[in-house]
Amino acid sequence: MSVNKNIAYPPGGVLMWIIIYLELATFGMAMAALAFYGAADRINYHQDSLMLNKLLGTINTLFLLSGGFFAAYGVQTFKKNQFELSARYLLGSIFTGLGFLLLKIFEYQQKLASGLDMNYSPFFMNYWLLTGFHWIHVLVGVVILIFIRRTIVKNQQSASLEDIEAGVAFWHMCDLIWLLLFPLLYFLF
């Protein structure tokens, strides 16, 4: 979107930003509850937190950040009518998103094989719920990016910048949630 400082036209559209803030508020309240209960039962939450694989979590963060970077470039190049380049950057986002999803499945399998399911402890109940809902958001984000890219590739002239920005904004929202969720679950207890 071009520079438009009207309150009704944030980049990606006002509806997308309402969704973004609602999602941030929802995840924010859940994370605050996790921090609250974690503070009350510090030893058990710390022990459970140590069972998470920090390396996998860090690689997943790098996947999402790379995806966000490619998506931002995708919007920039689209604005300059460099449609092929834009589609290529969005493909990069899609692949990093898929990388995140697959690595998370691998991590989930490891946890289940070790018996660390939702009933194991309150920490793991929160872990499964928060990361599970986030995983679904990333999946939706990847599907949206696939559709956006398809529109750019097949119908360059009719692809609307607002649609592209809205789809990419959803993707960045997944980044934002993870940037708070990741340190809370993996590092802070």
Partner 1 sequence: MKNSLLYTFLILIILTILSASLSHFQLAKTGVIVIVIFAIIKFLLVGFQFLELQLAHKFWKVLFVIYSCLMAAVFIILL
Residue numbers at the binding site for partner 1 (CB under 8 A): 1-7, 9-12, 17, 21, 24-25, 28, 31-32, 35-36, 38-39, 54-55, 58, 61-62, 65-66, 68-69, 71-73, 75-76, 165, 169, 172, 175-176, 179-180, 182-184, 186-189
Q: Are 59 and 186 in contact (CB under 8 A)?
A: no
Q: Tell me how far apart the alpha carbons of residues 14 and 166 are, in angstroms, rounded to a whole number.
A: 9
Nearest distance, CB of residue 22 and partner 1, angstroms: 12
Residue listed under structure tokens 């990361």: 131
Q: Given the complex with partner 1, which of 8 and 113 has the nearer CB atom?
A: 8
Find the shortest distance in angstroms from Cβ 137 to partner 1: 15
Nearer to partner 1, 17 or 120 (CB): 17
Nearer to partner 1, 4 or 155 (CB): 4
What is d(CA 131, CA 165) in angstroms, rounded to the nearest whole number?
25
CB of 7: closest distance to partner 1 in angstroms? 4
Q: How far is the CB of 182 from partner 1 (least distance, A)?
A: 8
- CB–CB of 189/36 below 8 Å? no
User: Which one, of 183, 184, 100, lies nearest residue 141 by Cα?
Assistant: 100
Contact 20, 169 (CB under 8 A): yes
For the bound state, the minimum distance from the C-beta of residue 113 to partner 1, rounded and expressed in Å, comes to: 24
Nearest Cα neighbor of 124 from 61, 41, 23, 58 is 41
Question: Toward partner 1, which CB reaches closer, 24 or 125?
Answer: 24
Nearer to partner 1, 124 or 189 (CB): 189
Question: What Å distances lie between residue 96 and 68, 71, 139, CA to CA?
Answer: 9, 10, 12
* Coil/strand/helix, residue 81: coil
